[in-house]
Amino acid sequence: MTYNKNLYTSSTSALDAGIVYDQTETKMQSEINADLKNTLNQLNSIYRGKNLGSSVTAAQYAEISAGTFNDLFIGDYWVIGGVNYRIAAFDYWLNTGDGSRCQTHHVVIVPDSSLTSGKMNNSNVTTGAYIGSDFYTGANSNTARATAQSTVKNAFGSAHILSHREYLMNAVTNGYESGQFIYDVEIELMNELMVYGSNIFHNLSKGTNLPSNYTMSKSQLPLFQHRHNLIGNGGHWWLRDVVSSSDFAYASANGAANRDVASFSLGIRPAFAIKA
């Protein structure tokens, strides 16, 4: 943004422009500060993609805590343990939830690559939806979720992982999600809305009931709005949406939306948020 100082020092120029300014340096600086503040509030619309180093600094955590996010942009990333942890959104879950709505400023992170791989279920069923899956519960020796969560917490520290409230699906009827509840969430698989900005394979209702599509994660992450090529990361990775009585949704290596049977082993690329 370019500022014309003449507008502040020449009343004729200001009036010709249809703008009336206080002709003082103090007023000029306050106008600039206001514009900069507006820019900071629109950081979800700006992509940079800068390497921020191997850890989140105290100064960066202070910016996150204040909700100012100075010198942090969508696409910026920390390289920790050989993984690029990339900023996907600012305050995505702020003011969402039930009685204990999220009031903590935060930065949503999505790793560039899958942290591990695993199945959604040991057999080709979607009974219990995401909450009832072997992946979520750890049944049938499914350790994929626990492994991914441990990797993230080791990278950032458990105290810096945001806990927030989220509607997650917990029942399936005739191949569509038919039940849900609000759960405490830290590190989970994304849904199609977060990745693609719309439901594609996600089976809502088959026209027989009101869709159980209640979710706080209801819009595409700015990261994927700006960089569609980061959806296709060279490997297939699971999403949490039920597609049918046997299939869950996933994002394919080439970036296309897809679905596969629950017992297929795919990458685990969760989303989470960090806080001060």
Q: Who has greater pLDDT, 273 or 27?
A: 273
State both tokens at 157.
């520290």
CA distance 155 to 7: 50
Candidates 165, 228, 163, 166; CA nearest to 191 is: 166
Range of lowest pLDDT (16-25, 52-61, 62-71, 160-169)? 16-25
For residues 171-177, average pLDDT: 89
SS3 sequence of 87-114: EEEECCCCCCCCCCCCCCCCEEEEECCC
CA distance 14 to 31: 14
Instruction: Note the pLDDT of residue 184.
Output: 94
State both tokens at 75.
């696409």
What does the pLDDT look like over 85-135, one tens digit per residue? 999 999 999 999 887 789 999 999 999 999 999 999 999 999 999 999 999
Region of 99 (left: φ > 0; alpha: ψ -120 to 50; beta: rest) is alpha
Asked whether residue 6 carries a pLDDT value surpassing 50, the answer given is: no
225: helix, coil or strand?
helix
Output the average pLDDT for the chain: 85
pTM attached to this predicted model = 0.82
Q: How many Cβ atoms are within 10 Å of 149's Cβ, its own excluded?
A: 19
The dihedrals phi and psi of 24, each to the nearest 5 degrees, come to -135, 155
Q: Are the C-beta atoms of 180 and 115 separated by less than 8 Å?
A: no
Candidates 264, 257, 220, 221; CA nearest to 239 is: 257
Asked whether residue 249 carries a pLDDT value surpassing 60, the answer given is: yes
For residues 213-236, average pLDDT: 86
What does the pLDDT look like over 187-215, one tens digit per residue? 999 999 999 998 888 877 665 665 556 67
Candidates 30, 53, 92; CA nearest to 222 is: 92
Instruction: Note the pLDDT of residue 41.
Output: 56
- Return the sign of the alpha-carbon dihedral for residues 29, 34, 40, 44: negative
